[in-house]
């Protein structure tokens, strides 16, 4: 258990915030002036809990004391509930370590075992970051003795990372075996049966420029024996504790906001029925004159899905890969797949077509950049069908996906729409947003996509090369490429790039987060936006946060900022002081896309191509789904082999690569008007 408490220091300073960590195994309550000091191992003091006594005052619902080693330590919680939590945890630890305890030894529970594994993984990620910092520094050095020394440290660090990763995997396997075979869940008895992994240590412990340890990783409680007596260092005058103070204010603010949101959600849940639809089911047909078309209902994958039942397969897979390894050519197990192709996921990015069209409707360059950013930030939540991280199908070379978004309710200038026979989708109307995507390359895997709305005279051309890497107990996907939104009447182009994606907690309930810096630039108007997708901090903090700024031409100070979560509510604040809601992606309803029936689709269209896999995944027939997936992949390899033997170069159907390695649609709207 860990968190913030106030500790009485002395008459001069009074109550001060401290960060406390209760180590149940060591029987020790350690505290630090801040979380940053905790990471550095700068312990401020500690309280031995063996034979300690907890005291509370009925007239005060937040303070309590610990009496031990002829000392009395005074603490203050936020409220009675928080004090009760700490007091209960402290009493359990005291009982376990006191002389009154009759058990000869302590066996940790599975929950505590999971906590320690999570702690080990967190420190593994820190170690990876430090090693990467050394790699970056080595790359900048010329041939010198410093470079040779750093290369030796780097080699040791990489070996340590690999050893720690495999150790964590073996511990996970031990836990899996215990939970499936032993009703008592005795961790110790099973761990001793595992093959030990020899620890790999660096010959010399070193530090980076920031003073962080690279040669080894410390535990939350410093790697030293439990002190013979409790102590406190509150007499020092130079310590800072602003970090802890800020944390408690943030926690109180978040708890207050969370309680309001929870009440709102509870009221909404009580009146809103639960709906679970899937595009594999029978779909509602559209107008009689378009009987060959189906409206694709939103795909709602079940949230909270766990990979526990398939953990042994994942553990075996992870044992075969190394940190930083490119996963492009790694065949992933079928059960982690989402029931749609990556090409269809890109189509779902346009599930708010009204925001896309709004960009062209704005009269000023400033308003158009704001509208473009709003559309951009709406796409990521629209493209995710579930909070659980599942991987879309890797598109087969030559595979395509096409759909339309019907916006007939937003008629343009009262004119009757015409059929755009020369567009990417010959059956689309001029007042509909048409979308077409194609897998144009297999190695590297590149997807190109194009969307247009003829009546609004606007188009979007983009391509993404997905590059996946193994990062220990998570997977990183770098989205390399860009998009170009063009407004034909104004001759404006908005160049956009994309954030990286991360699949976290791949051994429990995987979840997705985005990270990285992105930009939107318009060369003609001079306006530009800077967007930062924040990954969840190592300690505390919210996931899915974004911050953004919009700059006027030749200005160094943003005229507005955006803050919030990309999968929830975002707010905009202008320098004039005006604040307002920017977009609520959780509440904004998606527009259903319209797709042809599978029997009318071409052989290489996504839904027809992956039909067998999709149906069997829905029915949980994993073996049959795997067979269907393997058939497509083997056929693709055979076709690639035949092209290699004949010297044939694959040529995409509707896209071509330009001199800047951008994939451009062959017949865009700009060429047809």
| Whether residue 156 sits in one domain with residue 23 | no
Of the candidates 253, 221, 541, 604, the residue with the CA atom closest to the CA atom of residue 399 = 604
| Whether residue 464 sits in one domain with residue 370 | yes
| Whether residue 33 sits in one domain with residue 91 | yes
| Whether residue 427 sits in one domain with residue 343 | yes
> Is residue 664 in a domain?
yes
Q: What is the mean pLDDT of residues 154-158?
A: 82
pLDDT confidence bin for 179, thresholds 50/70/90: low
| Whether residue 11 sits in one domain with residue 85 | yes
Task: Kindly tell me if the per-residue pLDDT of 546 is higher than 70.
Answer: yes
SS3 655: strand
**What's the pLDDT at 136?**
80
- Tell me the C-alpha distance between 226 and 598, whole Å: 68
Which residue carries 């919030």 as its tokens? 564
> Is residue 216 in a domain?
no
**What's the pLDDT at 236?**
43
Reading the block at residue 562, the tokens are: 């955006």
**What's the pLDDT at 610?**
94
Phi, psi of 473 (to 5 degrees): -105, 25
Q: 578: Cβ–Cβ under 8 A, 6 or more apart, which residues? A: none
Residue, of 508 and 451, whose pLDDT is higher: 451
> Is residue 626 in a domain?
yes
**What's the pLDDT at 125?**
82
157, with CB counted inside 10 A (0-12, 13-18, 19+), is buried
SS3 423: coil
Q: What is the mean pLDDT of residues 647-670?
A: 93
- Tell me the C-alpha distance between 595 and 461, whole Å: 20
pLDDT confidence bin for 655, thresholds 50/70/90: very high
Residue, of 197 and 366, whose pLDDT is higher: 366
| Whether residue 53 sits in one domain with residue 13 | yes
Question: If you average pLDDT over every residue of the chain, what do you get?
Answer: 77
**What's the pLDDT at 210?**
38
| Whether residue 358 sits in one domain with residue 337 | yes
| Whether residue 454 sits in one domain with residue 385 | yes
pLDDT confidence bin for 42, thresholds 50/70/90: confident
Give me the CATH number covering residue 55: 2.30.29.30
> What are the tens digits of pLDDT across the range 590-601?
999 999 999 999
Residue, of 385 and 515, whose pLDDT is higher: 515
**What's the pLDDT at 40?**
76
Q: What is the mean pLDDT of residues 77-95?
A: 86
**What's the pLDDT at 347?**
93
Q: What is the mean pLDDT of residues 250-272?
A: 44
pLDDT confidence bin for 202, thresholds 50/70/90: very low
Asked which of 78, 104, 130 is the last residue of a domain, the reply is 104
SS3 392: strand
Chain centroid to Cα 591, Å, comes to 25
Residue, of 113 and 207, whose pLDDT is higher: 113
**What's the pLDDT at 33?**
87
> Is residue 565 in a domain?
no
pLDDT confidence bin for 24, thresholds 50/70/90: confident
**What's the pLDDT at 375?**
96
Residue, of 157 and 197, whose pLDDT is higher: 157
| Whether residue 150 sits in one domain with residue 59 | no
pLDDT confidence bin for 158, thresholds 50/70/90: confident
**What's the pLDDT at 107?**
58
What percent of the chain clears pLDDT 90, i.e. is strictly above it? 37
Q: Which of 53-67, 398-412, 497-511 has the lowest mean pLDDT?
A: 53-67
Q: What is the mean pLDDT of residues 223-233?
A: 63
| Whether residue 500 sits in one domain with residue 372 | yes
Residue, of 158 and 107, whose pLDDT is higher: 158
> Is residue 263 in a domain?
no
Q: What is the mean pLDDT of residues 49-57?
A: 76
SS3 28: strand
Task: Kindly tell me if the per-residue pLDDT of 55 is higher than 80.
Answer: no
**What's the pLDDT at 74?**
85
| Whether residue 395 sits in one domain with residue 321 | yes
Q: What is the mean pLDDT of residues 569-577?
A: 94
Q: Is 34:43 a contact under the CB 8 Å cutoff?
A: no
Reading the block at residue 56, the tokens are: 């509370």
**Residues spanned by the domain of 146:** 110-191
DSSP per-residue letters across 111-123: HHHHHHHHHHHHH
| Whether residue 150 sits in one domain with residue 18 | no
629, with CB counted inside 10 A (0-12, 13-18, 19+), is buried
Asked which of 174, 191, 208 is the last residue of a domain, the reply is 191
Alpha helices in 192-241 (DSSP H): none
> Is residue 468 in a domain?
yes
Reading the block at residue 586, the tokens are: 């959780």
**What's the pLDDT at 180?**
59
Asked which of 87, 104, 121 is the last residue of a domain, the reply is 104
Q: Which of 167-176, 229-238, 563-572, 612-621 has the lowest mean pLDDT?
A: 229-238
Domain total of the chain: 3
Q: Is 136:211 a contact under the CB 8 Å cutoff?
A: no
Task: Kindly tell me if the per-residue pLDDT of 259 is higher than 60.
Answer: no
Q: Is 16:9 a contact under the CB 8 Å cutoff?
A: yes
> What are the tens digits of pLDDT across the range 313-347?
565 555 555 545 666 666 666 667 788 999 999 99
Task: Kindly tell me if the per-residue pLDDT of 272 is higher than 50.
Answer: no
**What's the pLDDT at 69?**
81
**What's the pLDDT at 270?**
40
């Amino acid at each position: 258990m860990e968190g913030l408490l106030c500790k009485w220091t002395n008459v001069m300073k009074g109550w001060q915030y401290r960060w406390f960590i209760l180590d149940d195994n060591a029987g020790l309550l350690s505290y630090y002036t801040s979380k940053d000091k905790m990471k550095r191992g700068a312990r401020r003091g500690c309280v031995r809990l063996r034979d300690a006594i907890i005291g509370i005052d009925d007239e005060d619902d937040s303070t309590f004391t610990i009496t031990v080693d002829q000392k009395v330590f005074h603490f203050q919680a936020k409220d009675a509930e928080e004090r009760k939590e700490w007091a209960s945890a402290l009493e359990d630890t005291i009982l376990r370590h006191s002389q009154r305890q009759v058990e000869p030894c302590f066996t940790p529970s599975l929950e505590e075992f999971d906590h320690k594994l999570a702690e080990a993984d967190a420190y593994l990620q820190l170690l990876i970051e430090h090693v990467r910092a050394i790699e970056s520094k080595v790359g900048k050095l010329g041939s010198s003795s410093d470079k040779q020394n750093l290369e030796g440290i780097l080699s040791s660090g990489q070996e340590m990372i690999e050893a720690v990763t495999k150790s964590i995997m073996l511990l996970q396997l031990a836990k899996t075996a215990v939970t499936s075979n032993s009703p008592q869940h005795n961790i110790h008895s099973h761990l001793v049966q595992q093959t030990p992994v020899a620890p790999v240590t660096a010959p010399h412990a070193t530090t980076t420029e920031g003073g962080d340890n690279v040669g080894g990783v410390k535990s939350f409680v410093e790697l030293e024996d439990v002190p013979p007596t409790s102590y406190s260092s509150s007499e020092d005058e130079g310590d800072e504790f602003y970090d802890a103070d800020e944390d408690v204010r943030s926690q109180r603010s978040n708890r207050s906001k969370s309680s309001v949101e929870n009440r709102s959600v509870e009221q909404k849940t009580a009146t809103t029925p639960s709906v679970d639809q899937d595009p594999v089911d029978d779909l509602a047909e559209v107008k009689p004159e378009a009987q060959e078309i189906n409206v694709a209902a939103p795909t709602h994958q079940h949230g909270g899905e766990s990979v526990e039942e398939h953990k042994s397969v994942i553990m075996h897979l992870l044992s075969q890969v190394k940190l930083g390894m490119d996963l492009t050519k790694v065949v992933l197990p079928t059960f982690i797949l989402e029931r749609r192709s990556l090409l269809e996921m890109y189509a779902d990015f346009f599930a708010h077509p009204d925001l896309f069209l709004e960009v062209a409707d704005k009269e000023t360059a400033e308003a158009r950049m704001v509208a473009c950013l709003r559309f951009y930030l709406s796409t990521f939540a629209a493209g995710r069908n579930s909070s659980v991280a599942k991987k879309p199908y890797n598109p087969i070379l030559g595979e395509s996906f096409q759909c339309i978004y019907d916006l007939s309710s937003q008629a343009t200038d009262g004119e009757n729409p015409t059929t755009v026979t020369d567009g990417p989708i010959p059956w689309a109307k001029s007042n509909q947003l048409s979308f077409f995507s194609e897998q144009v390359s297999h190695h590297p895997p590149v997807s190109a996509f194009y969307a247009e709305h003829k009546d609004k005279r606007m188009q979007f051309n983009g391509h993404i090369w997905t590059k996946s890497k193994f990062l220990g107990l998570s997977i990183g996907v770098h989205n390399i490429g860009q998009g170009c939104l063009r407004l034909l009447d104004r001759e404006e182009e908005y160049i956009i790039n994309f954030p990286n994606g991360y699949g976290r907690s791949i051994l429990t309930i995987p979840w997705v987060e985005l990270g990285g810096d992105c930009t939107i630039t318009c060369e003609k108007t001079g306006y530009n936006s800077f967007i930062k997708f924040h990954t969840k901090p190592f300690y505390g903090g919210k996931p899915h946060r974004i911050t953004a700024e919009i700059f006027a031409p030749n200005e160094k100070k943003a005229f507005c900022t955006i803050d919030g979560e990309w999968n929830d509510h975002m707010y905009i604040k202008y320098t004039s002081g005006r604040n307002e809601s920017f977009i609520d992606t959780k509440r904004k309803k998606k527009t259903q896309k319209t797709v042809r029936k599978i029997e009318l689709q071409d052989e290489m269209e996504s839904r027809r191509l992956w039909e067998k896999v999709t149906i069997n995944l829905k029915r949980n027939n994993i073996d049959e789904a795997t067979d269907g997936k393997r058939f497509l992949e083997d056929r693709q390899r055979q076709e690639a082999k035949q092209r290699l033997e004949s010297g044939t170069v694959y040529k995409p159907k509707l896209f071509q690569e330009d001199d800047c390695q951008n994939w451009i649609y062959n017949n865009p709207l700009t060429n047809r008007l």
